[in-house]
Structure formats: C-alpha cells, structure tokens
Chains A and B, each alone.
Chain A
Amino acid sequence: MKTKLLSVALIAAAFSGGIFLGKGGSNDNFVINNGGGASYAGGYDKNAEQQNSGNSPVSARTVEGKTHVVKDGSSIMEAVKLAEPGDTIQVMPGTYHETVYIDKDDIHLIGVIVEGKRAVLDGQGKLNDAILYSGNNVIVKNLKITRYKGNGIMGQAGNNFEISNNIIVDTGVYGIFPQLGKNGLVEYNIVSGISDAAIYIGMSDNIQVAHNEVFDSVAGIEIENSRHAIVENNMVYNNTGGVLAFITPGLPIKTTFDVIIRNNFITNNNTPNFGAPGSTVAGIPAGTGILVMAADEVIIEDNIITGNKTAGIVITDHENAPNVTIDPESDTKPDKVMILNNLMDNNGYDTLDEVKALMLSEFKQGKPDIIRVGGSRDSCIINRHQYVTVGVDNWKECEFTNTDSIDTYILDEPVPARVIDPSEKGKIAYLGICAGCHTYTGRMIGPPVQIIQALYMDNPEGLAEFIANPTKKRDDYPEMPPQNYLDAETRLAVAKYMLHVKK
C-alpha cells in the first residue's frame, strides 16, 4: 500500500523557508537524568472527583450473586439471559459459536482455564462480534476469541469495566474496543491479526491499558478521542503502527488529552498496512512506532522503541495526515507533546522520501527517530541530542523528567451505579408516560386523573396492578396498553405519584 504521510503542501511549506522547523534548542548537549528529577503531575486531579483507594475499576460486590456454569455444548448467552446483576458466569473449556451481549450491570463473564484449555468463542468467519456489553461493572476474562467479522470484545458505554487475560486471534476489525466508557482496565491480553487496532480505546475516560501483547495487526494500541489514559508495560511489535494517540475528526467527542505512553516495548512495527480502504489507520506508513495525531498532552516516557523503519515517533496534525476529514469543532494540532527519556535505536532505517526531504531542509541525514510535521504548541523534549529528529529543534526542554507521581488514572471510587431514586421514578413515569394520555381534569385519550384518584385514592397497589394488566373499563375510551415494561417498583411509584398530583 502506498503511504503518504506527508502531504505535498507540507513539503512545499518546508522548502519555502521552514516555517515551523526553526533551529533552536540551546540545551542540545545537556544530559538529563530522569531518576529523581521533577515529576509530571498529570492532567487529572483525582481529588477533584473522589478519594479512597482500590485497584480494580469494577465496583466491589457486597453480596456475591449466583454462579452460572456454562459447559461445552451449551450457550453462554442463555446464561447471560438468566443472570441477574451480581452474578458470575463461568465458561468451561470448549468451543462456542455465538454472539454474547450483556445489557445488564455487574456481570462477570469468566472463562475457566483447565490445564491450558480455554473457552473458545469461534465466530467461524460468519458471526459479527463475540462480546458486546453496555452494562456497568462488566468483567470479561480468560476467554479465547477467534474468527469474528467485527470485534472481539466491544463495550458501548459501559463504565467500570475490566477486560483481562483474553487471547484474541484473527478476529475482524478491533480486538478489544471499549467505546464511550469511563474507568476501565484492559490488561494481560494477547491480541493479534487484527485489521485495524488490536486494542482500541474510543471516546472514553480514565483508562489503563497495561501488560498486553499485541502484534501482527495494523495498529497495536490506539487511544482515540479519549482523556486520562495510561498505556504502559505492553509489548507492541510487528504491527504497521505501534501505539497511536489520535483525535479523529468527525466524532461527537472532540478531544484527546492527558495520555501517558510509558514503559512499553514498541519494536519492529513494519508489517505492510492491510487496513480497510478508507479507514483512518489505512494511511499509517508501515514502520511507525508511536503516532500522535492532533492529540494533546501526550507523554512518551521510558519506552524501548526500536526497529521501526519509518520512525520511532511521528507527531502530526490533521492537515498533514492522509485519509483524514476536517472537523470545525476539533483542534487539529498536537499541542503539549512531551517526550521524556526513551531508548530508541535503529528506527527510520527505511523511511519515506518525504521524510528524507524534510530532513534535508534541516541539513540532517541519517535514520530518524522522531518526526514532527505540522503545527504543535508548547511541546517539549529532554535529551534530544540522543536522537535523530526532524521538527523538534525548537521544542523547549521539559520542566520534569518523569511521571513517577502518577500511578494510574483508574478512579479510586468507581463511577456510581445507575440507580434511579424511586420518588424520581414516579414523577418521570407520570410526566413522560401517563401525561401523554391523561390530564388532571380534561378528557384526553384516557380518563382524567381526578377520576382515577377518586377510584384508587387509598389503593396505589391496585392502580399499580391495573396499569400492568389493564382491562377495558369504559366504552367511550380506548383500552389502555399495558405498562408492564415498567418494573414493579416504578409502577407503584407512579401510581402513588398519580394519586397525589393536584393539577
């Protein structure tokens, strides 16, 4: 696949006078030791939201629910349907051909590994996604997932999630894709053979991606339109691009900031790009270790970045990235990028012609470790003399040398449960549902509330029962449809509310 990281416009700009490639950096020969120096404070103030301690993002259970054991030959989904919040589903070794969707809170889906044998979800190249969840406090653990067309594990707005110890092989578009969630952990997974990102954090907050092994995919780990994310201690190799921090324009959440990429092995990401035409990753040049596109406050620290043939680190704005649309509501520039100590070696040994041209504009040659194209404000770097760089000569020195004071962005106290206060339930159901057909005094589709009050004033239970299973009572009104989709608590709450409204 032909790559074209750098647009013609950019090259022209570079040669026309190096607008943003100024020569600067008075501290070129000053070696900074990152042990014991000032520490970066991070962009997320935990104390602003809550305190206390705890490691897992998933809410601790006060009472353990039932355990459902799924054996080879039976269905995981049947167990999910039976499960109540608080239950655990244990999946025994075997092969399962199904899509598992969890639209409930607090479900733990755990594979049981017996002498190395796992529960295998096999989509046989026909099924779409293996696991979909939208509930809070969902755990997906110890599974093996293969041959799905879509995603291995996909979260849609579930908070407090943990996805760990899974093996995901040759499965579709994304291996692990929590989207629109807050407070989640993705760790100890092995993901390979993915046609987009092996691990993709989309439009999420407070995320930890750690101790994963990702390889043979187009992108290894992607942090997109997300905030307060740490990517650490991962092995990322033989992908087209290793670790990405992106703002993708056109998405409804517009920012990426406060992303720490540290202590990862990011090596030999030279696999030819096999992304789907038109996908954002399809424009990534093979041989990119870390790619920062438009994301702000990205810290790159203590990674081993070697053998990536285009460059170790590429930083670009939207204007210079291929395949990217524009978004009037997105800031296109990667600002406040911070490059601390990293071990970089043997990168850029087969880089793009455009990069070579850029290097010439700075009178440089050799194998580039770090390439910056397009605008970037308030970025910094330490020990720049160690690397072959383009476009960072005028970056200032960072005022800190490490991120040691930031342990994790996982919340100490999980995102609160989605509990609706019973008194609120009554009011909301009355105004949102009952009021569509009943008014206090007048005739609408149903009889006036005054008449209902006269009938049921001391009997909210009777009214709650009636709305679950209405019978035709009045010839001159249509029969009421059952409101049994409201749970019993809500039905009683709305009955009480209706019996006490005054106008």
Chain B
Amino acid sequence: MRYLFVTLALLTALLMPNSGVIAQQNLRFELNQHCPPSFELTTEGTCKLVSFYQMYDSVQNRGLGGTQTSLPPNRDGFTPNQIDLGRLLFFDPLLSADQSVSCASCHRPDKGLSDGLEQSIGINHAKAARSAPSLWNVAFLDKFFWDARATTLEQQAVGPLFDPKEMGNNPQQLLSSLKSNEYYPELFKQAFPDSDDIDLNQLVEALAAFQTSLISLNSRYDHYAHGYHQALSDNEVAGLNIFRSFVARCAECHQPPLFTNNQIAVIGVAEKEGVPFDIGAQKTYNAAQLRGGFKVPTLRNITKTAPYMHAGNFSDLKESVEFYNKGRGHAVPPDEKLLLHWHIWEPNLSPEEVDLIVEFLGSLTDETLTPQIPKIVPSGLSPVDDSYNNKTMLVNQGE
C-alpha cells in the first residue's frame, strides 16, 4: 500500500532543487483509502482503533492500572482520507510563515516524534519556551502542551502554527497558501466532501486525524503485559519491579498501559542556568498550588526523546531518574515555594536500582507504526527539510 502515489516515477527529475517548486507535469496526489495500521475501517467509512488492551477492563474505565488494563478513551473515527491529508499537511513546511519548518521539524519520526532539542526552534532561529513533546499515543490524551493549556488536538494545533517563535504563521496567510496551492483544494475536497472551501477547522481536524494514528502499543513491555514473560530480560523485569514499587513510585504517575496518568504534577526540576523559573500550569489554571506543575509525559519511546523534562533540563534518562532519588525539593530555587507532588520523596534507590529502571525504560520502545514520510508534499517543499537541520546545527554551535 502506498499512502501517496506519484505517477511517473523519476521523482528527482520532477523536483527542481532549491526552488521549492514542483514541476507541473503529471504529478498527482491520491489520498489513502485504507486506514493506517492498528485501525479498522468501519461500515461508516471511518477508522477505528483496535488493540489487545481493549479486551481488558479498568476501574471507572479510566485506562489506568497494571499489566492487563484497558486503555483510556481515545480519539478516532476519522476517514482514511482525512488521516492521510493530515499526514501531508504535517510534513509540509508550507504551513509555516516563511515555509521553512513543518510540524515534523519538531516532531520528527527519527527522534521519537520530538526533536532532540532542549527547546524547539521555530522560524527565524527562534527558541520556543519549552521542548517538543512526543506525539506517540496522543489519541488518548485530553490535555496538551506541557502546561495543559489545550484540551483537544485541534486546539493544540493552532498553538504552534501561529506562535511567532514556532511556525509564525497567521490564519489569513495560511489559508491563502493552502487555497492557492495547486493540489490542496482538491485534497481537502476529498477529505471534507461536504465543504466547499478550505477553512481552518478542516486544517486542524486533518492534523488531529493524522496524529491519532500515531500508536505505539507493541513494545517488548507490551508483550510481557499480554503474558509473554520471556519478552523482558531478568534485568528489565527487576527494573519494572523497581519502577512500579512504592519506593520508586514511578508507576504512580507514569501509569501503565500508557505510562502517563495525564495529570499535572509539581516535581520541582530546576531550570537551566540563567533561565527564569517556568510557572507551568499555574498560568493555565490560575492556581498557585500548581506553580511549576507540568503534564506527566508518556514514557513510551522515551529512549528516543532526549533531552528530558519541559525544557531539556536533563540530558539523559539516568540523570532524569536520579533526579527523583536526590530528595524532595532539592532543586527548587530558594525563592520559590512549590507545593510538590506527594509522591516526590527520598526513595534512596541504590545506583544499581537507578540503572535497572533506565534499562527497563528501554523496553517501552515500539516504533513499528512510524508514519511514512511523504516523498513529496503538495507545496513541493522538502518534507524533511535540510534547512531546518542546518539551522539546528547553527544554533547548537552558538550562532
């Protein structure tokens, strides 16, 4: 199956390097008629998630608990066309003000759908306030951004699109770019047949549809959870037991099966030198009790998404796990009064136990359903853009 057909091969000949324009002849985009892997096409023509975890139950149907626990309610019900249009849009730098970055620039398939940076970099080399969260399993979430300021994927999408430090666009320019593109009007018509004209709602719905297809539920941990206990090494099982022990308490917030409870937690990580204290969810909820609170992130594919925490505060997983072992409030700035989460305490884990937790976290990797990067997107711009990579390098060199 191809998500995208490009008739008449010879792709390289069709592309005019550096100009960002597709040669006009014979190029045709065809949206996928099939649901992505892990989704079943219903009689209504929409895609429905299927997973072994759906065969289990959970208390109050909240999708939290132990090994064989059902998933939380999830977003699905989009058509294959909407999902595939979302994929094209996701990878298309046309969405940014200067057409230099796409959604995938900060949510890269090769970086765990994050970007490997402490803080993401938008147009004009601007550093965003926080790091890019991974998008794996966002279909199950009802809080978005580190500070939980959005409650739907659609709400979330307009954030980066119009943030001057991220994609920097504005609704007028964005709609105009899409409408004047040679291919998008027809593609939107296919995905949203009841509508005559492209609008922002369709754009964010298509982006949401694509993101709900980013499913990672088939790691070696999952094999263990479903009953194949040989899937984990002795060390990984030992790590799992420390992870879910009431000494380390990792699983109290990073609760299986998603390895997040999707709540806000104040854990008291220090900012990097010279960076002002980030008040996080205090702003979202207008609540001093949540000062310095951030959404608990999933740990699935966590080995792929260094550096960690809301602003890349830790460079690797060991450092991140050690943070919890250093004592309640050890990194809180002296002038800050935070109501730290009750599970932040002094577990006194041995160095070996810290290593075993890190080893266990490696078993949560499953990227088998990584989306296919389009070979070409309707704007003709490069879907995995070299200019972005270069920019990243320059910024890292202190430009």
Seen from chain A, the residues whose Cβ lies within 8 Å of a Cβ on chain B are 81, 99, 101, 103-104, 128-129, 132, 134-136, 149-151, 154-159, 172-174, 177, 179-182, 203-205, 227, 248, 250-253, 276-280, 323, 325-326, 328, 415-416, 418-420, 424-425, 427-429, 431-433, 435-437, 439-442, 444, 484-487, 503
Cβ contact within 8 Å between A253 and B60 = yes
Cβ contact within 8 Å between A418 and B56 = yes
Cβ contact within 8 Å between A172 and B247 = yes
Which residue from A204, A251, A279, A428 sits with its C-beta under 8 Å from B52? A428
* Complex interface: stretch among B100-108, B117-125, B261-269: B261-269
List residues of chain B with CB within 8 A of the CB of A424.
Answer: 55
Cβ contact within 8 Å between A129 and B245 = yes
Within 8 A of A (CB), among B44-60: 50-52, 54-60
Cβ contact within 8 Å between B62 and A252 = yes
Which residue from A103, A278, A280, A442 sits with its C-beta under 8 Å from B224? A103
List residues of chain A with CB within 8 A of the CB of B227.
Answer: 104, 487
Within 8 A of A (CB), among B191-237: 215, 217-218, 220, 223-231, 237
A200 to chain B, nearest CB (A): 10
Cβ contact within 8 Å between B66 and A326 = no
When A420-B52, A428-B52 are in contact, do A252 and B66 touch as well, CB less than 8 Å? Answer: no
Which residue from B62, B225, B229, B264 sits with its C-beta under 8 Å from A253? B62
Cβ contact within 8 Å between A132 and B245 = yes
Residue-wise interface mask of B (240-282) relative to A, using a CB-CB cutoff of 8 A (1 in contact, 0 not)? 0110111110010001100001111110000000000000000
List residues of chain A with CB within 8 A of the CB of B69.
Answer: 157, 180
List residues of chain B with CB within 8 A of the CB of A81.
Answer: 229
B238 to chain A, nearest CB (A): 9
When A156-B244, A172-B247, A431-B39 are in contact, do A204 and B59 touch as well, CB less than 8 Å? Answer: yes
Per the bound structure, the CA–CA distance linking A278 and B266 in Å amounts to 12
List residues of chain A with CB within 8 A of the CB of B264.
Answer: 250
Per the bound structure, the CA–CA distance linking A325 and B65 in Å amounts to 22
Cβ contact within 8 Å between B345 and A279 = yes
Cβ contact within 8 Å between B1 and A440 = yes
B340 within 8 A of A: yes
Q: Can you list 12 A-B contacts (CB < 8 A)?
A: A103-B66, A103-B229, A150-B245, A157-B66, A172-B246, A250-B265, A428-B51, A428-B54, A431-B39, A433-B368, A439-B34, A442-B1
Seen from chain B, the residues whose Cβ lies within 8 Å of a Cβ on chain A are 1-2, 34, 37-40, 50-52, 54-60, 62, 64-69, 215, 217-218, 220, 223-231, 237, 241-242, 244-248, 251, 255-256, 261-266, 285, 287, 289-290, 328, 339-342, 344-345, 347-348, 368-369
B215 to chain A, nearest CB (A): 8
Cβ contact within 8 Å between B248 and A278 = no
When A420-B55, A432-B51 are in contact, do A278 and B37 touch as well, CB less than 8 Å? Answer: no
List residues of chain B with CB within 8 A of the CB of A158.
Answer: 66
Cβ contact within 8 Å between A442 and B52 = no
Cβ contact within 8 Å between B59 and A181 = yes
Given contacts A128-B242, A132-B244, 20 further A-B contacts (CB under 8 A): A128-B247, A129-B247, A135-B67, A150-B245, A150-B247, A157-B66, A172-B246, A205-B60, A248-B342, A251-B263, A252-B263, A278-B340, A278-B345, A431-B37, A431-B39, A432-B52, A436-B38, A436-B369, A442-B2, A484-B228
Per the bound structure, the CA–CA distance linking A429 and B66 in Å amounts to 21
Which residue from B62, B261, B263, B342 sits with its C-beta under 8 Å from A278? B342
By beta carbon, the residue of chain A nearest B348 is: A149
B139 to chain A, nearest CB (A): 14
By beta carbon, the residue of chain A nearest B265 is: A250
Cβ contact within 8 Å between B241 and A439 = no
Cβ contact within 8 Å between A485 and B217 = no
Cβ contact within 8 Å between B40 and A427 = yes
By beta carbon, the residue of chain A nearest B1 is: A439
B142 to chain A, nearest CB (A): 10
List residues of chain B with CB within 8 A of the CB of A155.
Answer: 66
Cβ contact within 8 Å between B68 and A252 = no
Which residue from A101, A128, A486 sits with its C-beta under 8 Å from B248? A128
A222 to chain B, nearest CB (A): 13
Per the bound structure, the CA–CA distance linking A251 and B246 in Å amounts to 16
